[in-house]
Structure 1
Amino acid sequence: MKLVCSVRVGNRLLPTLALSSKQKYAQSTLALCKHPNTEDYCIILFTSQNKNGTKYGVRGNISQILTRFINDGKATIQFKAPPHDLFVQSEVIQLKSFLHLLKRVLENKIGPKELTCSSLSVTAVKDIAPKKLVIRNRSEYPARGFPRTLESLHINDIQRCSLDRGILHLTKLKILDLSQNCIEFIPEELNQLHLNEINLSSNCLNKSKPRQWAWLGGNLSKTLTSLNLESNNLKYLPDQIVKLYNLITLNVNQNELRFLPHGICNLRKLRTLIASNNRLLVLPGSIKRCRFKLLSFFNNNFEAKKREKITPPTQFSVLSLKECAGRRVLERRLFYSKEIIPQTLVAYLDYAKYCECGKPCFEGFIRIPGHFSVSTITEDLVMSTNSSVLPLDCYFCSLRCFRAWYYAPRRVPVIR
């Protein structure tokens, strides 16, 4: 029998401090074997550094087996000669099965032909610890779950309607590709992973309710650099997307978007925005603060309107304590969730508007239309027309910001 696990080898003859500082857990395979021609049983430990394996006798050579933390997938096997302790970590069910068979061997309750194999039949550890898995057919789907060593998982075109919960346990996963399926929403627990790239193109995320976008945040705020939501028939882009502070590439091509989130200025590292083949009417005013390498707005519904005369307001409403606190939370990028504050406050913070200065606002703001040449904020621009001047929906968090914009020279290009 083989057990795929992580093992740390301890030598009881060495000092405790030296043992704990030098030994580390390594991906390993434990094989419980019986010699074909004798009654000798042994456990062979294989690692990537030791492909020939280390052999440990079983009968009369095991002093004790410690199983106090067996429900956590941990156990310790202590041998007499050599005086080694094998600290084992593995899947709970597989570990229990392995130890149950070992117990039967020690009690002489195992059949003569039930366990007859040699070390030659044991697969090398490097072959059973894959880091990448590609599934393009239902028959290729793993029946026993995903290997915990996966760093890249691609499940494409198999008509899945939901995210497999087993993916939420892949703590080493960096790339997740679920394109060309029928997934309608993503569970919030996905934000506990440390993913770098997520591809959800060609799915059915347009059926997601606003609260079902809560997975945008958590650990993904710090790690996610690429997000692909192409071809999902999205009618809106969730405001929670502005929590992905390290996002570099965002693809929302081939949807039905009419607006972009006002907090797009929060994505300070965003360099590629592909929003072609949508129904965009206007851009958020805070986009002025962004700097792109590639900006694609091909085939949208932007309408160039003539400049209207704007009368500057003379007064500004007094901000409530709730608004002042909300502005401070978002400015400092403090973490918040429904486990910490009420759901109503989470929604209040998620749907903030953003001034051209980059600061958030909620109920106290000045809103006016404007125009802007997006060619000034990008190296490459893809448009349907020759003009790069597009309409803006501008918010100002104070009279000071509005006056700075209003009295700035050449603030709005002349459109005829």
Structure 2
Amino acid sequence: MKLVCSVSVGNRQLSNLAINSKQKHVKSTLALCKRPNSEDYCIIHFTNQNKTGTKYNIKGNVSQILTRFINDGKATIQFKMPPHDLYVQGDVIQLKGFLHLLKRVLENKVSPKELTYSSMSVMPVTTKDIAPKKLVIRKRSEYPIRGLPRTLELLYINDISKYSVDKGILQLCKLKILDLSNNCIEFIPEELNVLHLSELNLGSNNLYKSNPKQWTWMGGNLSTSLTLLNIESNKLTYLSDQIVKLRNLITLNVNNNQLTFITHGIGSLKNLKILIASNNSLSVLPGSIKKCHLQLLNLCNNSFTSTRQNNVVVSVPNNLPVYSLKECAARRILELRLTYSPAIIPYTLVHYLDYAKYCVCGKSCFEVFIRVPEMLSVSSITQELVTSTTSSYLTLDCYFCCLKCFKSSYFIRNRNPVI
């Protein structure tokens, strides 16, 4: 039996010396086989540098097998002579099958017919046979006939006029970077959020055809894993409120769309550092953006005015209505970042939570709030600003969740008259 994997070899004799006794992981093949004209079995470790392989006897020579992290595709096989530890990383299912067969060999429960290859006939798997971690597809003819390899960590499918996301992509549990730019994709299936992607590029597609209910893929595992999202050049007229669920997002690119506003929840993305929103139709920014600490804000070619308004008359009530129990509960759920879905609560409540407004303090609000415009010095939220206007002040559309937030934030900074 052969196992294609990565192996690091540790030498216990060198463990007490002032050098690192553990080698780096290298692409390898482990072969479990029977010696010719003998009842003995062995494991042969092949690498590109060692094509003849290193043989390890099995019976009476395996001190222990460590499988604590077997569900992560990791295991350790320790031999007595030579005193080597094989740190193995590979596909979970294949690794479990290999270790199961090894256990049967140690317990004398395997028949010679199950391991018919001798040590002389076993050859390492060639580089071409090793499942790839990266795949680039520029033509339809380059699509793998047998489907996408489950070992993929980087997948690029570009310029082939794809209209949907393949189900095979949704099964790539190791995938970290997915690039589907320059296609004709109209919507993303919700099942995409089962992946643990760190980067997702959907630029130059047709996502403007998606309705608001088709953005539920923002969430799930992507809530904690996704750090970069590119949805530029999709003719989008709105940015889905679902984006607030991507709480570890660092880079957001919505360049070259038709956006007239950015969702008010943008300020809840505490890790956001780069926001590229050039070539849109923006005239105001959401008030919650005051909570951001950006490194780069690109607002070139939008509709911002360069005139600062100093004498805005604001009418504010003496008090606000009492929060309903529904709003109190909803505010608390979003404050604690609790997970919710139609499988847990009614869809109407999911919709209620998804379309929350966000105060400049970062808290959510629903039915009780104060909404007024405000001017912001952009230097207070970003280290670098790229814009077409000469003014460093931009108009904000601000929500305030209570009178306290309004008075502390609005009056002190603007000193505007009030009716």
TM-score of Structure 1 vs Structure 2, range by shorter chain: 0.7 to 0.9
* 2:341 equivalent among 312, 337, 340: 337
CA distance, structure 2, for counterparts of residue 220 and residue 284 of structure 1: 24
Matches of 2:409 and 2:91, distance apart in 1: 61
Aligned with 1:299 (options 291, 301, 307) = 301
Name the SS of the counterpart of 1:404 in structure 2: helix
Equivalent position of 2:276 in the other structure = 274
Match status 1:123 vs 2:126: yes
Equivalent in the alignment of 2:366: 362
Q: Does 1:350 align with 2:354?
A: yes
**Counterpart selection for 1:385 from 380, 384, 389:** 389
> What is the distance in 2 between the residues matched to 1:187 and 1:321?
34
Gaps of 5+ in 2: 8-25, 57-89, 102-110
Q: TM-score, normalised by structure 1?
A: 0.74
Hey, what does 2:215 align to over in structure 1?
213
Q: Partner residue of 1:226?
A: 228
Task: Choose which of 286, 289, 300 in structure 2 pairs with 1:287.
Answer: 289
**Which of 305, 321, 328 is the equivalent residue of 2:332?**
328
2:189 aligned with 1:187, yes or no? Answer: yes
Mapped to 2, the partners of 1:375 and 1:317 lie a distance apart of: 35
Query: 2:357 touches 2:366 (CA, 8 Å); kept in 1?
Result: yes
Runs (4+) of structure 1 exceeding 6 A deviation are 30-34, 89-93, 105-108
Equivalent in the alignment of 1:70: none
Q: Distance in 2 between matches of 1:33 and 1:411?
A: 82
User: Hey, what does 1:65 align to over in structure 2?
Assistant: none
Q: Is the 8 A contact 1:192 1:219 kept in 2?
A: yes
- TM alignment of 1:106-117, pairs within 5 A: none
**Does the 8 A contact of 1:250 with 1:272 survive in 2?**
yes
Matched, 1:265 2:267: yes
Q: Take 2:373 and 2:255, find their aligned partners in 1: how far apart are those partners?
A: 25
Answer whether contact 1:6 1:90 (CA < 8 A) is retained.
no
Q: Write the distance in 2 (CA, Å) between the matches of 1:150 and 1:31.
A: 23
Report the alpha carbon displacement of residue 303 of structure 1 after superposing the two structures with TM: 3.7
Q: Would you say how many aligned residue pairs link Structure 1 and Structure 2?
A: 372
Does residue 318 of structure 2 align to residue 314 of structure 1? yes
Q: Is the 8 A contact 1:405 1:411 kept in 2?
A: no
Contact 2:133 2:154 in 1 (8 A): yes
Deviations for 1:363-407, whole angstroms, at most 9, x for unmatched residues? Answer: 111111222121321111111110122211111111111222343
User: CA offset at residue 119 of structure 1?
Assistant: 3.7
- Per-residue CA deviations over 1:143-185 (Å, capped at 9, x if unaligned) read 1122222221111111111111112222221111111111111
Q: Secondary structure at the match of 2:170?
A: helix
How has the CA–CA distance of structure 1 residues 54 and 219 changed in structure 2, closer, same or farther, with 3 Å as cutoff?
A: same
Amino acid aligned to 1:187: P
SS of the aligned residue for 2:412 comes to coil
For the 8 Å contact 2:306–2:391, the answer to whether it is kept is: no
CA distance in 2, matches of 1:379, 1:390: 15
How big is each residue's C-alpha offset from its partner over 1:177-198, in whole Å with a ceiling of 9 and x where there is no partner? 1111111111112111111111
Question: Which amino acid counterpart does residue 169 of structure 1 have in structure 2?
Answer: Q
Q: Tell me how large the CA RMSD over aligned residues is.
A: 4.6
SS at match of 2:249: coil
Question: Is 297-306 or 214-223 further displaced after alignment?
Answer: 297-306
Between the aligned residues of both structures, percent identity stands at 61
Question: Per-residue deviation at 1:228?
Answer: 0.6
Could you say if the C-alpha distance between residues 256 and 5 of structure 1 is closer, same or farther in structure 2, counting changes exceeding 3 Å? Answer: same
User: If the length of structure 2 is used for normalisation, what is the TM-score?
Assistant: 0.74
Cα shift at 1:311: 2.3
